[in-house]
């Protein structure tokens, strides 16, 4: 349907940084109109992208806003799953990596406890006693 190239992480991370920099500006963050905010984000994103080299694709202001809304929905969804897992009563002291893995598993409708305990089972089978870094659950 569209003619432009798809979004990559190299495009998304500067977009999020641009929104954060513009919206957290203590001097002019609250006195901007919607159009001024969009223009400032576009300018900031373009500056961040040109630091790495020439732009792969020139995006218009509405596409930046539309894609940021998509990112924002995902962040809100993940945050709700993370907070739900964080408030669950679990056994033992879980690390932040275990909470993140459990939130990803909950978001993907996988078993939360299996994502926490899978590393421990592998360690017991192999006879390891040292702590390992938790692996994140994966879903498509």
Q: 138 pLDDT band (50/70/90 cuts)?
A: low
DSSP 3-state of 131: coil
Length, in residues, of the chain:
140
Distance in angstroms (rounded) separating the CA atoms of residues 64 and 60: 7
Which candidate, 89, 66, 78, places its Cα nearest to that of 139? 78
Q: What is the pLDDT of residues 66-108, one digit of tens each?
A: 999 999 998 899 899 889 888 888 777 777 888 888 888 888 7
DSSP for 17-72, written as a single string: HHHHHHHT-TTTSSS--HHHHHHHHHHHHHHHHHHHSS-SSPPPHHHHHHHHHHHH
Decide: residue 93, CB within 10 A, 0-12 exposed, 13-18 middle, 19+ buried: exposed
Distance in angstroms (rounded) separating the CA atoms of residues 17 and 45: 8
Any residues with CB less than 8 A from the CB of 58 and at least 6 apart, and which?
none
Q: Which residue has the higher pLDDT, 92 or 130?
A: 92
Query: What does the pLDDT read at residue 130?
Result: 52
Whether the model pTM is above 0.95: no
Q: 17 pLDDT band (50/70/90 cuts)?
A: very high
Mean pLDDT of the chain: 78
């Amino acid at each position: 349907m569209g003619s432009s190239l798809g979004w990559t992480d190299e495009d998304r991370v500067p977009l999020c940084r641009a929104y954060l920099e513009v919206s957290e500006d203590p001097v002019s963050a609250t006195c901007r109109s919607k159009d001024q905010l969009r223009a400032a984000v576009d300018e900031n994103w373009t500056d961040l992208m040109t630091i790495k080299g020439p732009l792969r694709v020139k995006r218009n202001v509405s596409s930046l806003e539309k894609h940021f809304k998509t990112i924002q929905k995902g962040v809100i969804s993940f945050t709700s799953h993370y907070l739900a897992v964080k408030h669950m009563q679990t056994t033992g002291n879980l690390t932040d990596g275990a909470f993140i893995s459990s939130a990803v598993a909950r978001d993907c409708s996988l078993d939360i406890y299996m994502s926490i305990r899978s590393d421990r089972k592998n360690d017991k089978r192999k006879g390891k006693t040292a702590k390992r870094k938790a692996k994140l659950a994966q879903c498509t």
